[in-house]
Amino acid sequence: MSHCKPYVIGIDMGGNTTDIGVVDSRGKIHASTSIRTKDYAAEFGDFIDALAKAIRQLLGNIGGPQMIAGIGIGAPNANFYSGNIENAANLPWKGVCPLAEMLYDRLGIPVAVTNDANAAAIGEMTYGSARGMRDFIMITLGTGLGSGIVINGQLVYGHDGFAGELGHVKVRQGDRLCGCGQKGCLEAYCSANGVARTAREWLKTRSDDSSLRNLDPETITSKEVYEAAMNGDAFSKEIFDYTGQLMGEAFAEFVCFSSPEAFILFGGLAQAGDLIINPLRKAMEANLLKTWQGKIKIIPSALKLSEAAILGAAALGWKAQ
Amino acid sequence: MSHCKPYVIGIDMGGNTTDIGVVDSRGKIHASTSIRTKDYAAEFGDFIDALAKAIRQLLGNIGGPQMIAGIGIGAPNANFYSGNIENAANLPWKGVCPLAEMLYDRLGIPVAVTNDANAAAIGEMTYGSARGMRDFIMITLGTGLGSGIVINGQLVYGHDGFAGELGHVKVRQGDRLCGCGQKGCLEAYCSANGVARTAREWLKTRSDDSSLRNLDPETITSKEVYEAAMNGDAFSKEIFDYTGQLMGEAFAEFVCFSSPEAFILFGGLAQAGDLIINPLRKAMEANLLKTWQGKIKIIPSALKLSEAAILGAAALGWKAQ
């Protein structure tokens, strides 16, 4: 009878907030709510109890659990194969948290999980810019740089469920320390944090004028660098040039791997638009094999920031069993 | 009735020689022959005529074309989707050569083509070290560096059929000119040619002792560097350390992409064994995220050099239609 169930639940789990939506097969969100992840930092079991309770309340409005085909969850470091969250630096619980199993125990509804960037890729493929594409790479530019890779119409999970860590390929020349313990990782440069770090470094090592010098360098944000660049600050514009160039060089290598039809950019930093996409495209083209020059699309996400993660998780929910 | 056809034909097409084998479903070669590619350099049509003639002669020995389920061909720059060879630097014909279509016209047997590294990956998955693996990366170390990527048990062709050009990702620090026109490509360092180039460069720029100084630097080969290293020449051993290190750094990035169970090394240079695998593994481990440390296998091909390409192409032949 599962074919008759008209809704799935999509859950976007973050370190601060966990958003929950009831979604139909066309990607329309019919009901939504959220809980504060942080309030249950002490015990993962308490978080699951609170999540199950919030879902039961939502279901009361739409006809009960028999209307739900499945639950999909996008969460940092969530593993599609095991259903667990494993060693997530941005969540309060350490070690391995059996997310899918514990939520299924509470609700009796099938649960599928994956990491947040993979969920965004599924959302983009189902409802966004990647509809109809069988080969593309989703890059999420938030605090860090996440990625979801789609090949032959399938999300790439890899041998162990952890594929698609493109934030941790190394930029060609650079030794900035990354949160993962390695040096020179792409996300240490190309992310909201990375842009702020570049600004801080350059403010120290360079002496040219910039409106950024009016700000406290220790608390500077990528949004402030963006605003300065849009107001004509050359120093800030150069930070985006540099960020885009490193990304473009990396993208050219990703093309060697899977020859995608497009890169889809998502997240706060992606909203910098041409400021980052122009230098990115230029550097990518300069580093591509002739076969691919002029052929690889770079397009912004077609989904609203606030909805994409829920929609992606929801699309995964149809496959939960 | 195609299920009843007991054989496929596997063809390994190279710039000098094209090898042809009749193969059964267990990977046994029942008959084989070869033609000299070079003899038909003037006209691609002449080459196809000679190939069709050689195949007809082979088929006479095993019961005729009705015994053949399909023909698989591994060839440089061959595109699985189009069936064409496109701009192959190592073949005598320029531009686009409609290989699959022209051979099908002559013989009436379905033909599938792919590039030589992909054919080797299929061979390894069907008959070699990768049996049972759903996620692995085949690296062929010949004159250049080729790659065949398998994800979810499927070969990765990408949007346009040209995926898997891992020889053209850039090493982290280096600007050696590659045959593709770009600088710093992996295959300019990690290949038979690359090893010889490193030897030539170092003989010029360094002054320490080496038995390689007795050779003409202009014609030095990777085999000579290998032999010197095996005879205890520290300079030559260091060349392999350097080659392995650059490969290991690159492998760590490939793991970020598809999280493979294993890398399988194939080809002449792979036969250097521990001389290259030890520094490679060390550099890969040093650059991996913690999640993957100690978990990614690096294993030599289980197929004979002389048979692997034919077996891989043959395995593709079963899918020709």
Give A131-166 pLDDT, tens digit per residue.
Answer: 999 999 999 998 889 999 999 999 999 999 999 999
Report how far residue A13's alpha carbon sits from residue A18's, in angstroms, rounded to the nearest whole number. Answer: 4
What average pLDDT does the structure give for chain A? 93
Distance from CA of A156 to the nearest CA of B (A): 7
Average of per-residue pLDDT across B27-56: 95
Residue B22 has pLDDT above 50, yes or no: yes
Contact at CB, A258 and B163, closer than 8 angstroms: yes
Q: Tell whether the model's pLDDT for residue A3 goes beyond 80.
A: no
Residue A11 has what pLDDT?
A: 97
Cβ within 8 Å, pair A258-B135: no
Average pLDDT of the segment spanning B27-50: 95
Report chain B residues whose CB lies below 8 A from the CB of A170: 172, 249, 252-253, 287
Q: Considering only CB atoms, which chain A residues are within 8 Å of B254? A: 257
A71-120 confidence digits (pLDDT tens): 999 998 899 999 999 888 778 998 999 999 999 999 999 999 999 899 99
In the structure, what pLDDT confidence band is assigned to residue A1 with cuts at 50, 70 and 90? very low
CA A81 to chain B, closest CA, distance in angstroms equals 13
Q: Closest to B162 (Cβ–Cβ): which among A134, A169, A291?
A: A291
Are B248 and B284 a contacting pair, CB within 8 Å?
yes
Q: Does position B90 have pLDDT exceeding 90, yes or no?
A: no
CB contacts of B252 in chain A (<8 Å) are 170
> CA-CA distance, A301 to A267, in Å (whole number)?
8
Residue B1 has pLDDT above 60, yes or no: no
Worst-scoring range by mean pLDDT, A268-272, A317-321, B2-6, B146-150?
Answer: B2-6
The pTM score is: 0.92
For residue B64, give the 3-state DSSP assignment: coil
Portion of chain B with pLDDT greater than 90, in percent: 80
In this predicted structure, the answer to whether residue A60 has a pLDDT above a threshold of 70 is: yes
Class of residue B44 by CB neighbours under 10 A (exposed 0-12, middle 13-18, buried 19+): buried
Give me the mean pLDDT over the A64-77 stretch. Answer: 93
Q: Collect all residues of chain B within an 8 Å Cβ-Cβ radius of residue A172.
A: 170, 172-173, 184
What is the percentage of chain B residues whose pLDDT exceeds 70?
99
Residue B293: its chain A contacts at CB < 8 A?
Answer: none
Which of B152, B189, B257 has the most A C-beta neighbours within 10 Å, making it the best mutation to test the interface with A? B257
What is the average pLDDT across B59-82?
A: 92
Q: Which amino acid is at B77?
A: N
In 3D space, the residue among B299, B288, B264 whose CA is nearest the CA of residue B139 turns out to be B264
The alpha carbon of residue B295 is apart from the nearest alpha carbon of chain A, in Å, by 10
| Cβ–Cβ gap B253/A170 under 8 Å | yes
The residue of B118, B157, B170, B256 whose CB has the most chain A CBs within 10 angstroms, and thus the best one to mutate to test that interface, is B256
**pLDDT at residue B67 is higher than 70:** yes
Question: Cβ contacts (< 8 Å) between A188 and chain B: which residues?
Answer: none
- Indicate if the pLDDT at residue B2 is higher than 70: no
Tell whether the model's pLDDT for residue A222 goes beyond 70: yes
* ipTM of predicted assembly, 2 dp: 0.91
Model pLDDT, residue A2:
46
Which chain B residues contact residue A86 at CB under 8 A? 291
Angstroms from B228 CA to nearest CA on chain A? 32
The percentage of residues in chain A with a pLDDT greater than 90, rounded to a whole number, is 80
Contact B288, B49 (CB under 8 A): no
Residue B194: closest CA among B230, B227, B168, B164 = B168
Distances (CA, A) of A263 to A132, A229, B175: 14, 24, 27
Which candidate from A86, A154, A170 shows the least CB-CB separation from B152?
A154
Residue B308's pLDDT band (cuts 50, 70, 90): confident
Per the model's pLDDT, the better-predicted residue between B274 and A90 turns out to be B274
How distant is the Cα of B105 from the closest Cα of chain A, in angstroms? 28
Report the Cα A232 to chain-centroid distance in Å. 29
pLDDT at B142 over 90: no
Distance CA A150, CA A156 (A): 6
A270-319 residue pLDDT tens = 888 999 999 999 999 999 999 899 999 999 998 887 788 899 999 999 98
Structure token digits, residue A50: 């609170």
- In the prediction, which pLDDT does A307 show? 83
Chain A: give the shortest CA distance to residue B215, in Å. 34
CA-CA-CA-CA torsion for A281, A286, A289, A292, nearest 10 degrees?
30
Q: Give the mean pLDDT of A202-216.
A: 96
Taking CA atoms, A32 is separated from A27, A29, A54, A162, in Å, by 13, 7, 10, 29
Size of interface A-B (CB pairs under 8 A): 134
Q: According to the model, what pLDDT value does residue B3 have?
A: 56
Mean pLDDT value of segment B244-254:
97
Provide mean pLDDT across the span B312-320: 91
B69: number of Cβ within 10 Å: 22
